[in-house]
Every structure is written in structure tokens, then in C-alpha cells.
Amino acid sequence: MSKPTEEIVQTLKRKQLRVTPQRFAVYANLLSRTDHPTAEQILSDLNQDAPVSSQATIYNCLQTLREVGLIREVLLEEGNCRYDANVQPHHHFRCGSCGAIADIPWQALQTIDLSHLNPDWQVSGYEVTVHGTCEACQA
């Protein structure tokens, strides 16, 4: 999911966003990981060596990036909003023990037929959340 610097810059510009060091760092960080971090985790990751961004700016950047559709939120546990730079349709696995979240490729699960649901609904998409225990937690 990681991309070269120049590609990230172009992606941001295409969305008419100024390429600031903070915004670049937040997006690049999200692109480089698949663990669906919280705002807090991104903050501490970015600032672990040198100060890069304030907390308020992390929240601003995440909100802006979400508004333009470059990232999305993943809500699978109470009081914890996680972020994902993979905006293509895909499913999630969540470990009920440690809370870890992993992506499941769209093609890994068969397509679900939604044509027989309530006809008054205009259905635009769906996603599957698989619950279980991850390898590390099965000790």
C-alpha cells in the first residue's frame, strides 16, 4: 500500500489539498501500515523521533483526508475510531481478544446477493466483519 513520495504529493494535489509536511506525514503514515491505527497511534508514531505534528493537526488532517475520500474510518470497537488508507471495498477481521484488525480482500469472500432485501432501500454497498481470535491470542 506504500507509495513513492512523488505519487503521494500528486494524489494530494489532485484533491486540491496543499501539501504540508503534516498532511503528507499523516497520509504517508497511513499508507505505510495496515493495522488501522487510531489518531493517537498516528500522533505518537509521527512524533517519536522529532516533533512533526500537533494533536489538533492530526485530527484536522484525518478529517480532511476523509472528506476527499483518500482515507476512511473503521469503527469496530467502542470509543476507538480507527483509520484506513485502503478505500477500496474490502472486509475486516477483528480479534475479540486483542482488538487487532486485519483486512480481508474483497475477492476472498463470495459476493452476497442483496436483491431480495427491503425494496424501499436503495442499497449502495456492503461489507463483512469477521469475528474471531488472531494467531497471537490463541496461546
Partner DNA sequence: CTTTATCTTAGAATAGTTCTTAGTTAGGAT
Partner DNA sequence: ATCCTAACTAAGAACTATTCTAAGATAAAG
Selection from DNA, a second copy, none that 131 binds (CB < 5 to 8 A by kind) is: a second copy
Shortest distance, CB of residue 25 to DNA, whole angstroms?
A: 9
Of 5-13, 14-22, 37-45, 96-104: span binding a second copy (CB under 8 A): 96-104
State the burial class of residue 113 (Cβ atoms within 10 Å of its Cβ: 0-12, 13-18, 19+).
exposed
Q: Is 72 in the site for DNA (CB under 7 A)?
A: no
CB 28 within 8 A of CB 34: no
Q: Integer distance in angstroms from the first to the last C-alpha of the chain?
A: 30
Q: Which is nearer to DNA, 56 or 112 (CB)?
A: 56
Q: Is 115 in the site for a second copy (CB under 8 A)?
A: no
Tell me the C-alpha distance between 126 and 47, whole Å. Answer: 36
Instruction: For residue 104, give the 3-state DSSP assignment.
Output: strand
Q: How many residues bind DNA (CB under 7 A)?
A: 26
Q: Is 13 in the site for DNA (CB under 7 A)?
A: yes
Shortest distance, CB of residue 94 to DNA, whole angstroms?
A: 16
Binding site for a second copy (CB under 8 A): 73, 75-79, 81, 93, 95-96, 102, 104, 108-110, 112-114, 116-118, 120-135, 138
